[in-house]
């Protein structure tokens, strides 16, 4: 019975397949070019032409349906043939015919695979494989929407589903979105990163002469012609601060190589968010041996410790707004497995400095501030009043007092806005006096903005940001000052300091090959320290810097590095 029923089923399926259109005719119809309407058709009207377009769309859809029906009929016929052959082999029991049929089926399957590979190779674009393009264009797990052939790029993009639909098409990220992501990635999350990116937060920018609003004079540089000296300026806030300790810091591991405190003035009412309105001053903390949760600081100035470890700093501010506050950020430097050093902020403390437009709210006492574990430049950051320290919270203890009489005259001659180490106040005063003599006292044309050829005035602000080099100059100056007379006037002291600076820091600046100053690079700091010691020994033994320079290989000199520019990027906010 199986022998008689199977041929009839095959015959019916084949007859059904013959009723459909041939494959070649369908391909020829699909590849036939679409005729454009003639001028006579255009004159008849737009409605008639639209009808013809709809008829062509209907014909193409019917052809696609017929081709689909034909493929289904062919697959059913092949299945029926395989079923009939299997039944015949079972009834006859002929093993040889079964082997031959198996060979025929294998050959047919191999032919089908070859045809499929050939079709894929034809449809595959040039360059990398289509699979690679598909995987790169569509993320894993997303469903890819297929676009019919013959549709252009603009039409295909118009057919993409709206957000929230079941089918999600992979849409490439636009350039605007990529720029936003890059901007968010590059956004500073601590004062250390902000200092690296913003030139206006350096000591150099605040020591250099800044123009007034009219761009005719200088903002905070005045000369007293009657007394023939630099005129001092009294401002709203001029106080000395001393960091005592930081308590309840639970973070402690072997990857931490340094603990830093960053101090700055912050305007919390900026139109584009919070804005740093002063330089960023850095102090290095020490870990207490008995209690690892406490950071301490060094207040001695005996010369055995670096100035970056000094706990004292002065703050000068002439801002009248109450929204300008002092920020104390606590951070750590970590060394990764790849020998890369990164800075991580642990939080910050806020200290208001103004009560109203003319009165400072700072009192000579000890403050205990609470560390806020947020990003200074984040959206959830609060800069309100002082918070009551809670049990277990990180606390910052510091003392506020008046500037000592020994250095108050030097500090009053510095710029209106500055946060710095008091150990460098005397050297900064010498620089400001010589700067005022050159720009105001001795200059014939006060309206001239040409470059001034003065190596000392051009290089001192740059070196002021290099703490280790400033320590080296200060140590030699303290030795030299003991040999000078005690009651010398300002002009003589400034001239002597200028001479010493030109024999020490000047010959090292962009002349001797050495790495740049960077707190996140301990090896560079050690190499720089060895160079300073070598120069110091040469000055003590030979008393000549030329012999030291002749013994090493120096870099070529660029004369523009030693010229003072009064209208550079530092002169404007």
Which range (133-137, 396-400, 418-422) has the least confidence?
Answer: 133-137
Question: Which pLDDT score, from 0 to 100, does residue 108 have?
Answer: 57
Torsion of CA 97, 99, 100, 102, to 10 degrees: 120
Angle at 480 between CA 563 and CA 518, to 5 degrees: 50
Which three-class secondary structure string do you get for 182-235? HHHHHCCCCHHHHHHHCHHHCHHHHHCCCECCCCCCECCCCEECCCCEECCCCC
What tokens were used for 106?
Answer: 């294998």
Is 511 or 214 the better-scoring residue by pLDDT?
A: 511
% of the chain with per-residue pLDDT over 90: 37
Sketch the domain layout of the chain as residue ranges.
2-138, 191-571
- What length is written for the chain? 573
Are 317 and 237 within 8 A, CB to CB? yes
> Is residue 409 scored above 80 in pLDDT?
yes
Question: Which pLDDT score, from 0 to 100, does residue 498 have?
Answer: 96
Question: Which pLDDT score, from 0 to 100, does residue 107 have?
Answer: 57
Query: Distances from the Cα of 423 to the Cαs of 31, 120, 263, 299, 310, in angstroms?
Result: 87, 77, 17, 11, 9
The rounded mean pLDDT for the chain is 75
Is 571 or 59 the better-scoring residue by pLDDT?
A: 571
> Is residue 294 scored above 90 in pLDDT?
yes
Helix (H) or strand (E) holding 341: strand 341-352
> Is residue 445 scored above 90 in pLDDT?
no
Torsion of CA 189, 194, 196, 202, to 10 degrees: -150
Question: Which pLDDT score, from 0 to 100, does residue 300 have?
Answer: 86
Which range (36-45, 58-67, 155-164, 271-280) has the least confidence?
Answer: 155-164
Question: Which pLDDT score, from 0 to 100, does residue 136 have?
Answer: 40
Question: Which pLDDT score, from 0 to 100, does residue 38 have?
Answer: 45
Name the pLDDT band for 389 (thresholds 50, 70, 90).
low
Question: Which pLDDT score, from 0 to 100, does residue 171 have?
Answer: 30
**Which of 413, 425, 406 lies closest to 310 in space, CA to CA?**
425
Question: Which pLDDT score, from 0 to 100, does residue 326 have?
Answer: 96
> Is residue 149 scored above 80 in pLDDT?
no
> Is residue 257 scored above 50 in pLDDT?
yes
Average pLDDT for 40-56: 42
> Is residue 541 scored above 60 in pLDDT?
yes
> Is residue 145 scored above 70 in pLDDT?
no
Name the pLDDT band for 79 (thresholds 50, 70, 90).
low
Q: How far apart are CA 179 and CA 181, in angstroms?
A: 5
What tokens were used for 14?
Answer: 């084949």
> Is residue 4 scored above 60 in pLDDT?
no
Average pLDDT for 199-213: 90
* pTM score over 0.75: no
Question: Under 8 Å CB-to-CB from 451, ≥6 apart: which residues?
Answer: 560, 563, 564, 565
Question: Which pLDDT score, from 0 to 100, does residue 242 have?
Answer: 98
Question: Which pLDDT score, from 0 to 100, does residue 72 have?
Answer: 57
Question: Under 8 Å CB-to-CB from 354, ≥6 apart: which residues?
Answer: 236, 237, 319, 320, 321, 322, 324, 360, 361
Question: Under 8 Å CB-to-CB from 352, ≥6 apart: which residues?
Answer: 322, 325, 326, 361, 385, 386
Average pLDDT for 470-479: 94
> Is residue 196 scored above 60 in pLDDT?
yes
Average pLDDT for 365-376: 90
Question: Which pLDDT score, from 0 to 100, does residue 74 have?
Answer: 61
Question: Which pLDDT score, from 0 to 100, does residue 84 have?
Answer: 64
Average pLDDT for 172-200: 59
User: How do residues 87-116 score in pLDDT, each as one tens digit?
Assistant: 555 555 544 444 545 555 555 566 556 555
Average pLDDT for 20-40: 44
Name the pLDDT band for 284 (thresholds 50, 70, 90).
very high
Question: Which pLDDT score, from 0 to 100, does residue 446 have?
Answer: 77
Average pLDDT for 190-197: 90
Q: How far apart are CA 247 and CA 393, in angstroms?
A: 8
């Amino acid at each position: 019975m199986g022998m008689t029923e199977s041929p009839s089923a095959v015959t019916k399926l084949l007859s059904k397949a013959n009723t459909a259109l041939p494959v070649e005719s369908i391909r020829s119809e699909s590849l036939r070019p679409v005729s454009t309407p003639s001028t006579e058709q255009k004159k008849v009207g737009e409605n008639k032409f639209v009808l013809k377009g709809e008829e062509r769309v209907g014909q193409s859809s019917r052809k696609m349906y017929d081709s689909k029906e034909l493929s289904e009929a062919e697959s059913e016929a092949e299945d029926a043939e395989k079923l009939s052959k299997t039944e015949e082999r079972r009834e006859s029991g002929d093993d040889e015919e079964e082997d031959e049929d198996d060979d025929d089926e294998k050959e047919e399957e191999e032919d089908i695979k070859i045809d499929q590979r050939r079709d894929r190779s034809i449809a595959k674009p040039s360059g990398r494989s289509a699979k690679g393009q598909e995987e790169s264009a569509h993320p894993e797990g997303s469903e890819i929407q297929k676009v019919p052939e013959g549709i252009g790029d603009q039409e295909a993009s118009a057919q993409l589903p709206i957000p929230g639909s079941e089918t999600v098409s992979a849409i490439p990220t636009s350039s605007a979105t990529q720029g936003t992501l890059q901007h968010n990635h590059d956004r500073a999350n601590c004062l250390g990163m902000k200092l690296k990116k913003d030139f206006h937060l350096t000591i150099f920018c605040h020591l250099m002469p800044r123009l007034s609003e009219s761009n005719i004079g200088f903002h905070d540089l005045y000369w007293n012609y009657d007394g023939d000296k630099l005129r001092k300026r009294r401002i709203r806030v001029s106080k000395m601060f001393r960091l005592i300790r930081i308590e309840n810091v639970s973070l402690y591991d072997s990857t931490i190589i340094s603990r830093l405190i960053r101090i700055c003035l912050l305007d919390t009412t900026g139109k584009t968010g919070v804005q740093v309105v002063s330089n960023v001053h850095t102090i290095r903390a020490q870990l207490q041996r008995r209690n690892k949760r406490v950071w301490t600081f060094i207040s001695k100035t005996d010369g055995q410790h670096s100035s970056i470890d000094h706990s004292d700093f002065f703050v000068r501010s002439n801002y009248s707004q109450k929204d300008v506050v002092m920020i104390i950020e606590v951070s750590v430097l970590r060394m990764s497995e790849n020998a890369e050093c990164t800075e991580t902020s642990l939080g910050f403390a806020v200290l208001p400095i103004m009560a109203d437009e003319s009165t400072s709210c700072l009192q000579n006492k000890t403050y205990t501030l609470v560390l806020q574990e947020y990003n200074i430049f984040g959206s959830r950051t609060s800069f309100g009043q002082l918070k009551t320290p809670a049990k277990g919270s990180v606390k910052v203890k510091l003392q506020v007092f008046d500037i000592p009489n020994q250095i108050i005259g030097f500090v009053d001659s510095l710029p209106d806005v500055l946060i710095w180490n008091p150990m460098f106040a005397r050297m900064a005063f010498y620089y400001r006096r010589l700067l005022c003599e050159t720009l105001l006292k001795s200059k014939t044309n006060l309206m001239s903005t040409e470059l001034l050829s003065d190596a000392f005035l051009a290089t001192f602000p740059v070196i002021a940001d290099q703490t280790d080099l400033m320590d080296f100059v200060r140590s030699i100056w303290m030795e030299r000052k003991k040999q000078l007379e005690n009651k010398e006037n300002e002009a003589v002291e400034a001239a002597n300091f200028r001479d010493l600076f030109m024999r020490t820091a000047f010959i090292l600046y962009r002349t001797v090959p050495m790495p740049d100053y960077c707190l996140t690079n301990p090896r560079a700091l050690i190499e720089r320290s060895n160079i300073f010691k070598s120069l110091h020994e040469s000055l003590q033994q030979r008393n000549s810097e030329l012999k030291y320079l002749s013994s090493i290989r120096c870099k070529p000199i660029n004369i523009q590095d030693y010229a003072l520019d009064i209208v550079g990027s530092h002169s404007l906010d």
